[in-house]
Amino acid sequence: MGKAKKDGEGTRCRLLEAACRAFAERGYHDATVAEICRRAEANIAAVNYHFGGKEALYREAWHHSFQRTASAYPADGGVPATAPAEARLKGRVRSLLRRAFGPEGTAFELMERESANPTGLLDEIFCQVIRPQRQEMAFLVRELLGDCVPERVVRLCCLSVVSQCVNFGQRHRMHRKLGRRSWMSQRCLNELVEHVTRFSLAGIRAAAQQRAVPAKARGPVGNAQCAVRQ
């Protein structure tokens, strides 16, 4: 009985790994159960037995991939919450780039596939897993921007920071798939972290300065309205 249970767990793990790779490479619609089972060296009925079907396997594969990436590269980049905001932003940039460049980066590829061709199957998982991290980034960017900055500006700054990391990761994977040597490699990760952080902080400061209005120009009414919006 113990051996059968161990064998079953091994089959389930192989299916998950195979599904992560297949869905990342081909997307939900093009990846087939037969292909996943072949990669996992499992019986074609194993997907239904262990997961209940392709949809459930897709959700579980994404969750498995994301959790593995998050465990390897925590969202805060190892920077304590008591550190200055600039250092915490650098930590998050480092984490995003490591996730995008690392061997555990299938979560990024799965997300790209889902964004390009939405299935609607991951909506609940996105709310549970991605939204909290977006909120943490927004809180940090809002701290850097200062008072009286519209929420729209906060969202645009957050998107700008994350998009840089995602774009570098996309280009790195594209070069790798094409067999080309990419200058955006793990070896130059520190350089990319410094660049994205410096570029992002400059942009955030510029956005804050653009929105800033001298206190004398606002007058008491303007200051009161600012306080209310906070």
Domain span at residue 36 reads 8-61
The reply to whether 77 and 143 lie within a common domain is: yes
pLDDT (tens, 9 = 90+) of the chain, 230 residues, equals 455 555 578 999 999 999 999 999 999 999 999 999 999 999 999 999 999 999 999 999 999 999 999 899 999 999 999 999 999 999 999 999 998 887 766 888 888 889 889 999 988 888 888 899 999 999 999 999 998 899 999 999 999 999 999 998 888 777 777 777 666 666 788 999 999 999 999 999 999 998 765 544 544 544 444 443 44
The reply to whether 45 and 134 lie within a common domain is: no
Is 216 contained in some domain? no
- The closest of 9, 53, 8 to 19, measured between CA atoms, is 53
In this predicted structure, what is the pLDDT of residue 127?
87
Question: Taking the model in full, what pTM does it have?
Answer: 0.81
